[in-house]
Amino acid sequence: MGKSKEKRLCKQVKHDVLEEDLDGYKKLVVNPTHLCVKCGRVCNDPGLLCEPEPID
């Protein structure tokens, strides 16, 4: 996902990452390990979430 990986996932989605790099986004959300309690997104890299919480 290149330069956009530096941003939090919620910001990436707002900036058209789904249109620009759908395959890269899919890699981040497959088999999620964490949930953001602020925005509700899930990801397998907690560093990309606003307020990550492990998924049990």
Q: How far apart are CA 55 and CA 18, in angstroms?
A: 23
Q: In this model, does residue 19 exceed pLDDT 50?
A: yes
30: its two tokens: 């497959």
2: its two tokens: 């290149």
Task: Indicate the pLDDT class of residue 15, thresholds 50, 70 and 90.
Answer: low
Residue % of the chain over a pLDDT of 70: 84
Q: How many domains does the chain have?
A: 1
Quote the domain boundaries for residue 45: 2-54
| pLDDT score at 13 | 73
